[in-house]
């Protein structure tokens, strides 16, 4: 198991790599090139520069999150082949610097959705909150506008203002395709890229839909055991895999996360481990990592990875904003660093038991 930390790049993340390096027992970062729009090739020079920046700071970078997929690919629109070719070129350039895993998602239009980015808890920490009523009464566009306000101008992946401007238009395009067509579009993409993933030795790891239920009438793919099975059956290659995100799948109480981890062992190169706290009405906020702070049994989750011989990468997922910190919602330094120490402790105890 290798423990890594998400970092958005020098221009997009207020946390310096020198601080990240001081987190105990850390192997490296998982990063991205935020300023390259979906559908375009990540130039080799830019990839090499990113790699140099991280390794000069004494860290490794073997995982990328995310290389985003252009909507034309998800919609099966004309022009998708060219964008898939660009995707494959990006994979090649990433393999040139030793990248081993690409985390991506196939969520239509938007990445994760929450009602609040900085919801204040009684202890004064601030965290992301999902209030169902607020979300149901929103449109993607109004959510995007709310995020822009709440985040104080930080562009969230998938919610960049220039994309939000086209949300209404894009959502109409999604309304024209069926859920089955959406599955077909995913299969087309996977069939095109997995042979190259194998050749470049890069494991493709899809991230589950967050939240795992349909929003705004948009299709959903990766949200439970059955659909993960269906998606992974597109190719038996170990290069076609899953990012197991406990917080995304675990929001649906029907999903037995430790059982899913055990079932898909061998097809999970990357894990996002976080806890969350359900309120009585099913709304939830993102809590600190320890079991006693939230609703998940974190020991059972880590044990499921450990007992199935997991040898991939783990990162703590979202954390709260604490100690007066301000920064990217979900991605402050301190709470995630404590998450790492906690997860590393659980792992050591399992190793020695």
CA distances from 279 to 127, 154, 295 (A): 14, 28, 9
Q: Which residues contact 169 (CB under 8 A, 6 or more apart)?
A: none
- Smallest distance, ligand CS2 to C-beta of residue 108, A: 12
The yes or no reply on residue 9 touching ligand CS2 (CB under 6 A) is no
**Which of 313, 331, 334, 342 does the annotation list as catalytic?**
331
The yes or no reply on residue 287 touching ligand CS2 (CB under 6 A) is no
Closer Cβ to Mn ion, 31 or 93, answer by number: 31
Any catalytic annotation for residue 240? Answer: no
Nearest C-alpha neighbor of 342 from the set 304, 292, 270, 307: 292
CA dist., res. 252 & res. 129, Å (int): 15
Interacting partner of 220 out of Mn ion, ligand CS2, none (Cβ under 5 to 8 A depending on kind): none
Site string for ligand CS2, 193-222 (x = CB under 6 A): --------------x--x------------
CA dist., res. 327 & res. 333, Å (int): 9
Interacting partner of 103 out of ligand CS2, Mn ion, none (Cβ under 5 to 8 A depending on kind): ligand CS2
Any catalytic annotation for residue 331? Answer: yes
Span near ligand CS2 by CB under 6 A; candidates 77-85, 101-109, 141-149, 192-200: 101-109
Q: Strand, helix or coil at 149?
A: helix
Nearest C-alpha neighbor of 339 from the set 60, 151, 155, 127: 127
Interacting partner of 105 out of ligand CS2, Mn ion, none (Cβ under 5 to 8 A depending on kind): ligand CS2
- Smallest distance, ligand CS2 to C-beta of residue 247, A: 7
Q: Which two tokens stand for residue 68?
A: 């985003």
- Smallest distance, Mn ion to C-beta of residue 11, A: 23
CA dist., res. 66 & res. 112, Å (int): 13
- What is the rounded end-to-end Cα distance, in angstroms, of the chain? 17
- Smallest distance, ligand CS2 to C-beta of residue 274, A: 9
- Smallest distance, ligand CS2 to C-beta of residue 353, A: 30
Interacting partner of 80 out of Mn ion, ligand CS2, none (Cβ under 5 to 8 A depending on kind): none
Bond into 166 cis (ω within 30): no
Interacting partner of 62 out of ligand CS2, Mn ion, none (Cβ under 5 to 8 A depending on kind): none
The yes or no reply on residue 157 touching ligand CS2 (CB under 6 A) is yes
Closer Cβ to ligand CS2, 227 or 350, answer by number: 227
Edge-to-edge, what's the strand order for the sheet holding 276-278? 116-120, 126-130, 284-286, 276-278
Q: Which residues contact 243 (CB under 8 A, 6 or more apart)?
A: 65, 103, 205, 206, 207, 208, 268, 269, 270, 271, 272
- What residues act catalytically? 207, 245, 272, 317-318, 331
Q: Write out the residues near ligand CS2 by the rule CB under 6 A.
A: 65-66, 103-105, 111-112, 157, 207, 210, 245, 272, 330
């Amino acid at each position: 198991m290798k423990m890594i930390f998400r970092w958005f790049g020098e221009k997009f993340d207020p946390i310096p790599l020198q601080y990240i390096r001081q987190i105990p027992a850390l192997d490296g970062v998982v990063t991205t090139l935020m300023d390259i729009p979906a559908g375009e090739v990540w130039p080799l020079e830019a990839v090499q520069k990113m790699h140099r920046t991280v390794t000069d700071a004494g860290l490794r970078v073997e995982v990328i999150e995310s290389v985003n997929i252009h909507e034309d690919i998800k919609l099966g629109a004309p022009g998708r082949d060219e964008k898939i070719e660009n995707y494959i070129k990006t994979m090649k350039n990433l393999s040139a610097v030793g990248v081993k895993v690409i985390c991506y998602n196939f969520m239509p239009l938007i990445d994760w959705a929450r009602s609040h980015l900085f919801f204040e808890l009684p202890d004064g920490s601030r965290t992301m909150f999902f209030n169902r009523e607020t979300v149901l009464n929103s449109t993607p566009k109004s959510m995007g506008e709310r995020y822009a306000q709440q985040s104080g101008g930080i562009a969230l992946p998938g919610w960049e203002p220039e994309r939000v401007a086209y949300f209404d238009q894009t959502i109409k395009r999604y309304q024209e395709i069926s859920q089955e067509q959406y599955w077909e579009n995913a299969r087309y993409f996977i069939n095109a890229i997995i042979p190259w993933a194998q050749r470049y030795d890069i494991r493709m790891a899809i991230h589950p839909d967050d939240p795992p239920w349909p929003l705004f009438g948009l299709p959903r793919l990766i949200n439970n055991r059955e659909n993960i099975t269906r998606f992974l059956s597109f190719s038996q290659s170990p290069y076609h895999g899953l990012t197991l995100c406990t917080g995304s799948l675990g929001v649906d109480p029907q999903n037995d996360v430790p059982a899913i981890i055990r079932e898909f062992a061998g097809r999970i190169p990357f894990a996002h481990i976080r806890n969350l706290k359900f309120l009585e009405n099913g709304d939830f906020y993102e809590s600190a990592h320890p079991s006693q702070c939230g609703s998940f049994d974190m020991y059972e989750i880590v044990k499921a990875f450990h007992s199935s011989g997991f040898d991939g990468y783990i990162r703590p997922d979202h954390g709260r904003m604490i100690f007066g910190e301000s920064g990217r919602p979900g991605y402050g330094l301190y709470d995630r660093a404590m998450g790492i120490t906690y997860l590393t402790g659980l792992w050591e105890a399992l190793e020695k038991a």
